[in-house]
């Protein structure tokens, strides 16, 4: 039987949930197998029944177990959902995925952009210029720009994939990387120029230039990450 570590925290149920979930994902408990009883789990974790019950409820809400009245909790899923994994993606993997994905998105956006989208892109460009004038950097305009290109590509899956990419970036490590790279005075202006070059290529309908400019932008981000 899987051995668990005692927990000491104000959020006991979260730690209990994480350990139980990890044990299920590692298949220490198989599909259809019953988890230890509440009493057994209390002894394993050295806690009262309240956090154990909260953790079991969280497992049930996230689709890992099913409660059978009078019998306990049984495993019904051993693979983590995307939501469970999304914040565990390594920053380097995010950057490498973007190097592969976003140049083609930029190319398609240049090919597919319409008049209404041109107006939207011009607005984003003005906000980039305003940030540059103030010598500032925010993730808001950056995110809107990259998501705009994905939407302008006309490919629904591209847009969904970029939404997921930005969700993976909602982590403290990525914030640290930004503070040490594109948010620094050394790189802010370069980052801004790269965005404007991509945007202009898309406005001009120059698909090849949009592709190569985005490739250079993402490659530069990777190099700055390792510098």
| pLDDT 10s digits, 144-196 | 999 999 999 999 999 999 999 998 888 777 777 777 777 788 788 888 999 99
User: How many CB atoms are closer than 10 A to CB 173?
Assistant: 13
Angstrom distance (rounded) from CA 103 to CA 224: 18
Whether 2 is in a domain gets the answer: no
- Cα separation values, 168 from 8, 37, 84, 150, 222, Å: 28, 35, 11, 16, 16
Task: Assess whether pLDDT exceeds 70 at residue 23.
Answer: yes
Task: Assess whether pLDDT exceeds 60 at residue 65.
Answer: yes
**Domain of 124?**
84-226
Which of these, 176, 166, 9, 26, lies nearest to 87 by C-alpha position?
166
Tokens 């939207």: give the residue: 120
Which of these, 88, 107, 80, lies nearest to 22 by C-alpha position?
80
Element (H, E) at 85: helix 82-85
Pair 4, 14: CB distance under 8 Å:
no
- % of the chain exceeding 90 in pLDDT: 56
Give the dihedral of Cα atoms 174, 175, 179, 183; nearest 10 deg: 90
User: Residues 75, 88: one domain?
Assistant: no
Of 38, 64, 80, the one marking the end of a domain is 80
67: β partners: 73
Whether 1 is in a domain gets the answer: no
Q: What is the pTM of this model?
A: 0.65
Angstrom distance (rounded) from CA 114 to CA 96: 29
User: Residues 74, 88: one domain?
Assistant: no
> Which CATH number characterizes residue 217's domain?
1.20.120.530
pLDDT (mean) for 55-80: 89
Whether 131 is in a domain gets the answer: yes
User: Residues 55, 88: one domain?
Assistant: no
Q: How many domains does the chain have?
A: 2
Which of these, 72, 59, 50, 56, lies nearest to 25 by C-alpha position?
59
User: Residues 111, 193: one domain?
Assistant: yes
User: Residues 67, 162: one domain?
Assistant: no
**For the purposes of burial, counting CB atoms within 10 Å of the CB of 32, is it exposed (0-12), middle (13-18) or buried (19 or more)?**
exposed
CA triple 204-210-211, angle to 5 deg = 150
User: How many CB atoms are closer than 10 A to CB 61?
Assistant: 10
Q: Take residue 77 and report the two structure tokens written for it.
A: 């899923």
CA triple 77-82-83, angle to 5 deg = 100
The pLDDT value given to residue 68 = 92
Task: Assess whether pLDDT exceeds 60 at residue 7.
Answer: no
Give the length of the chain. 227
Minimum mean pLDDT range among 93-97, 135-139, 223-227: 223-227
> Which CATH number characterizes residue 66's domain?
1.10.10.10
Segments of the chain assigned E as strands = 65-68, 72-75
């Amino acid at each position: 039987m899987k051995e668990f570590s005692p927990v000491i925290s104000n959020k006991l149920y979260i730690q209990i949930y994480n350990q139980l979930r990890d044990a299920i994902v590692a298949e220490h408990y198989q599909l259809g197998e019953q988890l230890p009883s509440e009493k057994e789990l209390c002894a394993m974790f050295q806690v009262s029944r309240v956090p154990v019950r909260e953790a079991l409820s969280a497992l049930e809400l996230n689709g890992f177990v099913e409660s059978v009245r009078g019998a306990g909790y049984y495993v019904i899923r051993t693979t983590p959902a995307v939501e469970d994994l999304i914040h565990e993606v390594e920053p380097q993997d995010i950057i490498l995925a973007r190097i592969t994905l976003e140049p083609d998105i930029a190319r398609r956006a240049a090919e597919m952009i319409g008049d209404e989208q041109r107006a939207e892109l011009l607005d984003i460009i003005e906000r980039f210029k305003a940030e540059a004038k103030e010598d500032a950097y925010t993730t808001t305009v950056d995110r809107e720009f990259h998501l705009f290109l994905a939407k302008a590509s006309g490919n629904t899956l591209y847009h969904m994939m970029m939404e997921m990419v930005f969700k993976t970036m909602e982590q403290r490590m990525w914030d640290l990387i930004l503070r040490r790279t594109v948010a620094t005075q050394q790189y802010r202006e370069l980052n801004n120029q790269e965005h404007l070059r991509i945007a202009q290529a898309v406005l001009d309908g120059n698909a090849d230039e949009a592709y190569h400019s985005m490739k250079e932008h993402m490659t530069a981000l990777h190099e700055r990450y390792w510098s």
